[in-house]
Amino acid sequence: MIGGTSNNVHSKIMLELSLFLFICLISMMLGGLLTPFIAQTMGISDFQTFLSTLSETSSATERTQVKVVLLITQSLSFILPSLLFAYLVHKNKLFQFLKLKSFPTSSFIFMGCLLILTAFPAAQLLMKLNQLIDLSGAAADLEAKASTLTQALLVMNSPQEFMFTLFVVALIPAVGEELVFRGIIQNYLSKINLHTAIWTTAFLFSAFHLQFEGFLPRFLLGAILGYLLYWSGSLWLPIIGHFLFNGLQITGVYILQLQGETVDLKATDQLPWVFMIISTIMMLGLAYWLNKSKQNLSSHEA
């Protein structure tokens, strides 16, 4: 009887996850169909060709046009299908299911953000190791195109452009990707096995971006965000942590540009080993504290 019940639960999980992926696929197709029309309203006749020619020397207007399209497609690909699925399957318990009903305490938010900050050196080391993997053929071409596009989108010549970039490149992905990966995929898989769910979701999260040189640091970030959800019981903490991780990098690039410096996103300057060791110890200590405190910290209703 117990085995039969377990099989029923697993079947229900797989069925609902399949429904979610189907909704995501339909929504992404809709976004793909709408993209040319959205681009045309901004005077772009062929968006794919326009995108392939975008570079660091492109005008602010051209960069803004691409960001507007990205804003709409990201919303259609992540936020809309997540909310639609949660409404269809869980209806009046939508926010409870997505773990958005409660908000972590200020101390938990502070410690979670501190954990993200202490993970930066480890992420940089993983990036350096990642770059030792030789890419060739289609993978190398895909990586080069993604790198060129990212470099172009992170050119910010005014405070307004910086704020809009922060919104499109940091905030919207933080909300959308956390809804999909932690709010739904990890949420379901954790009913089977918690830690397997966290690391599997982190792998899927990193692989989804199709940027191979950043796979390992993104995998680490995904795992940390997964544990932040587990420790806090609230999706708001991974959203905040995700935004912090992306936002700090964008802010750093903007500050360097204000100083007239050229920014190389692939640069991985070696930090002192003492600093790396101290940072790793702090990261593990914070993780220990958050894990130990998960039952003791209350949550406030959002």
Share of the chain above pLDDT 90, in %: 49
- What dihedral do alpha carbons 256, 258, 262, 266 form, nearest 10°? 40
CA distances from 281 to 174, 224, 288, 294 (A): 27, 15, 10, 20
Residues ≥6 apart with Cβ < 8 Å to 135: 143, 212, 213
- Model confidence band, residue 299 (pLDDT cutoffs 50, 70, 90): very low
Name the domain count of the chain.
Answer: 1
- Model confidence band, residue 1 (pLDDT cutoffs 50, 70, 90): very low
Per the CB < 8 A criterion, the answer to whether 183 and 202 are in contact is: no
Question: Which tokens is 280 given?
Answer: 């790793």
pLDDT for the residue numbered 200: 97
Q: What digits encode the pLDDT tens for the residues 218-274?
A: 999 999 999 999 999 999 999 999 999 999 999 999 998 888 877 666 665 666 778
Q: What digits encode the pLDDT tens for the residues 170-215?
A: 999 999 999 999 999 999 999 989 999 999 999 999 998 877 878 8
Distance CA 38, CA 36 (A): 6
Print the domain residue range for 97: 2-301
CA distances from 123 to 116, 139, 193, 219, 220 (A): 10, 22, 26, 9, 7
Q: What digits encode the pLDDT tens for the residues 47-65?
A: 888 888 888 888 899 899 8
Per the CB < 8 A criterion, the answer to whether 235 and 178 are in contact is: yes
With CA atoms as reference, report the closest residue to 121 among 226, 207, 217, 222.
217
- Model confidence band, residue 2 (pLDDT cutoffs 50, 70, 90): low
Phi first, then psi: give them for residue 103, nearest 5 degrees: -120, 135
Question: Which tokens is 237 given?
Answer: 């903490």
